[in-house]
Amino acid sequence: MSRSGDKKPVGFAIQLTAGGTAGAMEALCCQPLDTIKVRMQLSRSGLAPGTKPRGFLATGAMIVQRETPLALYKGLGAVLSGIVPKMAIRFASFETYKGWLADKETGKTSVGNIFIAGLGAGTTEAVFVVTPMEVVKIRLQAQQHSLADPLETPQYRNAGHAVYKIIREEGFSALYRGVSLTALRQATNQGANFTAYQELKKFAHQMQPELVDLPSYQHMVIGLISGAMGPFSNAPIDTIKTRLQKATAVPGTSAFQRIAAIAGDMWRQEGFRSFYKGITPRVLRVAPGQAIVFAVYERMRKIIETLQGSSEDKVYSE
């Protein structure tokens, strides 16, 4: 009997359904952590002498106290609207690149080529989905209005209104502000993520040769470990990207000049630690998020493949 790790690449429809479901579950569970991360990255607390930057728990408590618990889910609409194509593109492009880079004789892909396939998948999802989605999400999360006060009108009412207003006031290109940094972050994220996941999954199969499919809890543990790889490797990129996407463009300056100016300002005014602001909620958000994504994706893929197999068997028997 063939093992799950040796199966042929699944079809796009399965990746769309399984990946979209997995992404939606991740967003619903982890959005509050992402909102706290963004607020920490944008915060300039701790600049006054004798004060410390506001921490993870303090930032979350401040949001809840000032803006109600629902404020932790600001930007969720933008995330959910992009999560299905994002996950579909991530898994479909990874499987495609992995297939292209596989050995023609054995059909197996080396660890190095798996990493390259992950880089490609991360870059692809960043360009097609993640960048405009994150620009909108960050604009919504950065608004510190109270949801408990109906008379306090926010700049952006929802994701759709944010897209309309950004395009009208700043042009369509504003939705792609920070695309180079986003692509770099997503590429390194998925390169590390997929490589670690594939290798850990292979190791788990070697330790349990009697198992055809790994149980869901093992997929979650493997996803948790692999998901933590990216944030530690590219935290400075993510922090600069967040500040770049929050700010409006200065006429006559290139993207590189804006990135250099933000990085220089952070270094001079806030020091080295500012590049790692929000690392705690980011790891707490990304690692469990990947645990959820991989566990749900593997389960959904198995269910759909089983249903498709049953349908095909029924057709053949008739």
DSSP 153: -
- Tell me whether residue 128 is in a domain: yes
What is the structure's pLDDT at 24? Answer: 86
- Tell me whether residue 19 is in a domain: yes
- Tell me whether residue 3 is in a domain: no
More confident residue, 148 or 29: 29
**Tokens representing residue 216 in the block:** 């869901």
* Buried b or exposed e, range 44-79, using 16+ CB within 10 angstroms: ebbeeeeeebbebeebbebbeeebeeebbbbbbbbb
Model's pTM, two decimal places? 0.74
More confident residue, 205 or 44: 205
At 72-81, the pLDDT tens digits run 999 888 888 8
The C-alpha atoms of residue 66 and residue 169 are separated, in whole angstroms, by: 29
Q: Residue 196 belongs to what domain range?
A: 12-146+154-313
The stretch 214-227 carries a mean pLDDT of: 94
pLDDT(7) > 70: no
pLDDT(313) > 60: no
- Tell me whether residue 122 is in a domain: yes
- Tell me whether residue 268 is in a domain: yes
At 255-285, the pLDDT tens digits run 889 899 999 999 999 999 899 988 988 888 8
- Tell me whether residue 198 is in a domain: yes
Domain count, the chain: 1
- Tell me whether residue 7 is in a domain: no
What is the structure's pLDDT at 6? Answer: 46
Burial group, residue 152, by CB count within 10 angstroms (0-12, 13-18, 19+): exposed
CATH code, domain carrying 161: 1.50.40.10
The stretch 198-222 carries a mean pLDDT of: 93
**Average pLDDT along the chain:** 86
Residues 294 and 222 sit within 8 Å (Cβ to Cβ)? yes
In single-letter form, the type of residue at position 83 comes to I
- Tell me whether residue 223 is in a domain: yes
What is the structure's pLDDT at 5? Answer: 43
